[in-house]
Structure 1
Amino acid sequence: MQELLEQIVDYLKGIWIKRRYIIIATWAICPIGWYFVAQMPNVYESSARVYVDTQSLLRPLLRGLTVETNPDTQIRLMVRTLLSRPNLERISRMTDLDVQANTTEEYDKIIEDLKKDLRISSAGRENIYTLSIEDKNAEVAKNIVQAALTVFIENTLGETRSDSDEAQKFLNAQIRDYENRLVAAETRLTSFKQKYGDVLMSNSGGFYATLNSEQEQLERAQLQLEEAKTRLASAKAQLAGEEPVFGLFTSRVKSNNSVATTYDSRIEQLERSMDEKLLRFTEKHPEVQEIQRRLDELNRLRTEEIEAYYSSIKTSEEETNKAVTSVDKNPVYQELKIQANQYENEVASLTVRVENFKRRVTEIGNKIHSLPEIEAELTALNRGYNITKNKYEELLARKETAQLAQQADETTDKIQFRVIDPPRAALQPSGPPRLVYFIGVTILGVGAGLGMSLLMSQISPVITSTQQLSRVTGVPVFGTVSANETLGLHQWHRRKTVLFMMSNLVLLVLLVGFISYFAFPDIVQAPLKGVLG
């Protein structure tokens, strides 16, 4: 903290040593800036206050009978649109500002200046509005405010009547449109009822009752079909367990193992050899795999020999059966076969019945599916017709209400304007704020001088203390030697200080003079004009 304070003190000393740059900057900036501020033209403000009365006597009496518009909302809308370009062009024509423009660019500049300078403000809930503007000419400022006030009042009153006329036109157009829609909806509804009259008349539950009856019969037929299939399967199972003959004259061969072939001994020998090899080796051993391959080949040859044997037996049985007597036939097998044939006939019959019921249910279902579509279309037509009819009747009622509201508006004004303070031409200028500008120029000049002094003290620094010298050189300082009076350094610094103070004093006197000239015009300006005049 101590080092920071010492550094700040060194900066201030450096600025003081280079204070001649403050004199240069202030004399280069302040007089010129004060002169330009003094040459700025005076502006004059003109304003007007108007009270908007929105409390009409007919408003509570006609409540519920006419269309109620909010006059406060209408006034706020007019306030926001007052600075629109059409209104500003109208104000410029009323005040002859448009004749000052020779080109389109100049005219646009006039409109932009009006939009920027013209102000309108509200006093809150009191409905008191203030219009004001500043201009170099007091009479022009008054005329602009008067024109803006006139436009504001006329637009508000004219907008009310224009809204009523537009509402009447809109309602008439809508009534004609909905009348055409209503006729078209009635035509569509009539045509639809004529087209689907038979379906709509029979839509009392007949379709649904028939569909339910057919579905019940279909379910019963499907159940009977499943029962018949179950009995047929049971009969076939019993039939498979019986032999058609007693087997008195048939072969005694029961299975493949009971038939001896020429390959049996070799297969048994290879199987024993396989068992011995497996005790010593795994299944992937080459010898084991070779034995397995030979076994597979012998089994295949054995199977072929057995099949050839069966074929020869079957041929001989067919020849023998021709001579077999009825004593050899199995009666149980014959009875089961007859039942199986009956069940097959019953399943076929029930299958045809189920298919017939399915076809009838599908046909009725198709009609049932189309019936909701017809009902939905009829409902949509009725809904559209009712909506159009209700809108048409509502528009007729609103037209009567609008006519009553228009008659009430023509009888009396819902909005009345009372000008509290009319616009006047100002006698004294309201600006520009020269005092602020004078002080700003002064601060700018002094700030620039301080900045230049600080910058020059850093560019060409001057050692002002032993601490600064030690900090810069890094060498400790053990003592100082003061300048002798005979060198004249003290006198030279004294003259610089006096010059600095005199310069600032002269600038201060100039500043006071400029401020007094505009702050006290009657005391200063009048005598000066008399002397110079």
Structure 2
Amino acid sequence: MSSIYDELRAAAYTVWRRRWVALAVAWAVCVLGWVVVALIPNSYESRSRILIQLEDPLAEQVGIGLQDRQREVARVRQTLTGALNLEKVVRSTRLGENVDTPREMERAILDLAANIKVTADQDNLFEITGQSGDPSLSDSENALLAQDVVQKMIDIFREENIAGGRGELTESLDFMNQQLDDRSKELEAAEQRRLAFETANPEFALGGGALTQRLEAARSELRGVDADLQAAQSALTSINSQLSATPRRIVGSGSDNSIGGAIAKAKADLSGMKARGLTDNHPDVIALKNQIASMEAQAKAAGGSTQGQLNPAYLAVESMRADRQASVLALQTRKAGLQAEIADLSSKQYSNPQLAAEAQRIGRDYDVLKEQYDKLLQDREELRLRGQVETERSSVKFQVIDPPTTPASPAAPNRPLLLVGVLIAGIGAGIAIAFALGQLRSTFATTAQLEKSMGLPVLGAITHTWTDASRALRKKRLKLFYAGGAALGGVCALLMVAEFIQRGMVA
């Protein structure tokens, strides 16, 4: 620990002995550094923040969604710092006063691009920053120029959002109108071809669709008639069964009343057996017939009659059967007519397949063109409505939260910090030069260094004795040294005061 202390004492003594060299170097370095700092032009910075409003229920109703508006904002943000917009800024500010050639304009655009930043603090909050540090302009002029640049960027943002978007919609509408005109002409030509073909071939009207429609309609109607005919025949069969089970006459009153009732009941049972599907050869049917014949013989022997009065139920069922028979006959007639019509239409359809194919082709072309025209017309109307909504209610609205600031102090360089840094660097350089010069000379500041260097014991050291005159001279020199050091610090302080005064004049 003592050796380190001795080394520090020796270093301090070396520097102190050459303090005038250190002071001179410090002055030289500080003066040179302060001149360089003074030559650095001030750069002033202006900032502005804008808020993007994306919520609009009416815009969403016509198809302008939130993602569409976010993409629009991103597009504007990307194109805002493009070469064309930067050229507008150059021409509309003092940056373009001395720009005469395309090369100079290109250089001005590159310089401006390096001094403009557009950053997003949030999804819908943007900050525009512009700097100006033209050495040919004064500080106040640079400050105003930075503000003008940011204001012009805001104006361009407004134009890109409103006029630019509407211009794109106008171009889209013009394109849609041109496409509609072309499709309209093609549709009219296709309609004329179809009319001419249908006039020459009426059976292939509607592009052959009339013949096909008639054929399909006839087949569909035939299927309906077949179903109705089957239902009518089934109903007629049921009526016939019911009629066969109903006695035609009711036996009148008298001594033969019981025999007649038995005969009627037996006949009803016989009809029921036949209705169940029993044939005349069935044993039960044969036995019942024999029983009926025996009872009729008994009735005749008794002098009675089995005829009696007409049965009203039988007459009603017979009337229903007549209606069903008429319906079946009408349906059979209609079926025959439809079959003949289908045969005729089929023969026409396949008699000239080339005309049928031509009719289908003409009709298909017309339908395709009509569908395309209707789709384009619908898209054009939607686009026009969207353009009207964006005209009245801009899809992306923004509000200037912080207007472009007028900078009161330069953003760069930080001159007070640089002045202090140059002072520290100058003092450090003076100490370093003084210490380096001390190391070049073979002298020893302490007896310990001498003993260590020679390897021999040092018995003692002779101190320096000062006379009164030398002491007075030494004090005078110390005062001059302290004055020189204080002057160095004072110059630094004066420069900082001058810097703040200059900033106050700009503000």
Question: What TM-score, normalized to structure 2?
Answer: 0.51
Distance in 1, Cα, partners of 2:105 & 2:60: 47
C-alpha deviation, 1:513, in angstroms:
1.6
Distance in 2, Cα, partners of 1:466 & 1:102: 76
C-alpha deviation, 1:482, in angstroms:
1.4
Distance in 2, Cα, partners of 1:139 & 1:68: 37
Determine if the alignment matches structure 1 residue 480 to structure 2 residue 461: yes
C-alpha deviation, 1:102, in angstroms:
4.1
Equivalent pair of 1:52/1:415 in contact (CA under 8 Å): yes
Q: Kindly provide the amino acid, as one letter, of the partner of residue 30 in structure 1.
A: C
Q: Kindly provide the amino acid, as one letter, of the partner of residue 134 in structure 1.
A: S
Q: Kindly provide the amino acid, as one letter, of the partner of residue 165 in structure 2.
A: T
SS in 2 for 1:475: coil
Determine if the alignment matches structure 1 residue 147 to structure 2 residue 156: no
Residue pairs, 1:377-392, within 5 angstroms:
none
Q: Kindly provide the amino acid, as one letter, of the partner of residue 147 in structure 1.
A: K
Identity, % of aligned pairs? 24
Match of 1:33? Answer: 33
Indicate how the Cα distance of structure 1 residues 501 and 158 shifts in structure 2: closer, same or farther if over 3 A, else same.
same
Q: Kindly provide the amino acid, as one letter, of the partner of residue 61 in structure 2.
A: L
Match of 2:494? Answer: 513
Q: Kindly provide the amino acid, as one letter, of the partner of residue 31 in structure 2.
A: P
Equivalent pair of 1:43/1:134 in contact (CA under 8 Å): yes
SS in 2 for 1:436: helix
C-alpha deviation, 1:504, in angstroms:
0.5
Distance in 2, Cα, partners of 1:466 & 1:174: 105
Residue pairs, 1:294-305, within 5 angstroms:
none
C-alpha deviation, 1:502, in angstroms:
1.5
User: In the alignment, which of 430, 436, 443 is matched to residue 417 of structure 2?
Assistant: 436
Q: Kindly provide the amino acid, as one letter, of the partner of residue 459 in structure 2.
A: F
User: Residues 204-228 of structure 1, C-alpha deviation per residue, up to 9 Å, x if partnerless?
Assistant: xxxxxxxxxxxxxxxxxxxxxxxxx
Distance in 2, Cα, partners of 1:166 & 1:8: 82
Indicate how the Cα distance of structure 1 residues 406 and 469 shifts in structure 2: closer, same or farther if over 3 A, else same.
same
C-alpha deviation, 1:488, in angstroms:
7.1
Distance in 2, Cα, partners of 1:104 & 1:29: 43
Match of 1:15? Answer: 15
Q: Kindly provide the amino acid, as one letter, of the partner of residue 23 in structure 1.
A: L
Equivalent pair of 1:18/1:453 in contact (CA under 8 Å): yes
Match of 2:132? Answer: 134
C-alpha deviation, 1:406, in angstroms:
4.2
Distance in 2, Cα, partners of 1:111 & 1:158: 23
User: In the alignment, which of 382, 400, 405 is matched to residue 419 of structure 1?
Assistant: 400
Distance in 1, Cα, partners of 2:385 & 2:8: 83
Determine if the alignment matches structure 1 residue 113 to structure 2 residue 94: no
User: Residues 379-415 of structure 1, C-alpha deviation per residue, up to 9 Å, x if partnerless?
Assistant: xxxxxxxxxxxxx99x979788656544543442111
Distance in 2, Cα, partners of 1:508 & 1:436: 14
C-alpha deviation, 1:419, in angstroms:
2.7
User: Residues 10-40 of structure 1, C-alpha deviation per residue, up to 9 Å, x if partnerless?
Assistant: 2232222222222111221223433454465
Indicate how the Cα distance of structure 1 residues 153 and 411 shifts in structure 2: closer, same or farther if over 3 A, else same.
closer
User: In the alignment, which of 147, 162, 172 is matched to residue 157 of structure 1?
Assistant: 162
Distance in 1, Cα, partners of 2:64 & 2:402: 35
User: In the alignment, which of 452, 467, 483 is matched to residue 502 of structure 1?
Assistant: 483
> What are structure 1's unaligned runs of at least 5 residues?
177-391, 527-533
C-alpha deviation, 1:98, in angstroms:
2.4
Distance in 1, Cα, partners of 2:132 & 2:165: 31
Distance in 2, Cα, partners of 1:163 & 1:522: 47
Distance in 2, Cα, partners of 1:30 & 1:151: 46
SS in 1 for 2:97: helix
Indicate how the Cα distance of structure 1 residues 399 and 96 shifts in structure 2: closer, same or farther if over 3 A, else same.
same
Indicate how the Cα distance of structure 1 residues 4 and 169 shifts in structure 2: closer, same or farther if over 3 A, else same.
farther
Equivalent pair of 2:29/2:426 in contact (CA under 8 Å): yes
Residue pairs, 1:211-222, within 5 angstroms:
none
Equivalent pair of 2:423/2:489 in contact (CA under 8 Å): no
Indicate how the Cα distance of structure 1 residues 20 and 105 shifts in structure 2: closer, same or farther if over 3 A, else same.
farther
Q: Kindly provide the amino acid, as one letter, of the partner of residue 160 in structure 1.
A: G
Distance in 1, Cα, partners of 2:447 & 2:107: 65
Give the alignment's Cα RMSD to 1 decimal.
4.2
Distance in 1, Cα, partners of 2:34 & 2:128: 34
Indicate how the Cα distance of structure 1 residues 159 and 42 shifts in structure 2: closer, same or farther if over 3 A, else same.
same
SS in 1 for 2:444: coil
Distance in 1, Cα, partners of 2:75 & 2:151: 20
Equivalent pair of 2:444/2:450 in contact (CA under 8 Å): yes
C-alpha deviation, 1:114, in angstroms:
1.3
Indicate how the Cα distance of structure 1 residues 43 and 131 shifts in structure 2: closer, same or farther if over 3 A, else same.
closer
Bigger relative contact order, structure 1 or 2 (CA pairs below 8 A, ≥6 apart) = 1
Tell me the matched-pair count: 312
Question: What TM-score, normalized to structure 1?
Answer: 0.49
Distance in 2, Cα, partners of 1:19 & 1:171: 87
C-alpha deviation, 1:88, in angstroms:
0.9
C-alpha deviation, 1:492, in angstroms:
6.0
Match of 2:58? Answer: 58
Match of 1:6? Answer: 6
Indicate how the Cα distance of structure 1 residues 503 and 105 shifts in structure 2: closer, same or farther if over 3 A, else same.
farther
SS in 2 for 1:485: coil
Indicate how the Cα distance of structure 1 residues 455 and 171 shifts in structure 2: closer, same or farther if over 3 A, else same.
farther
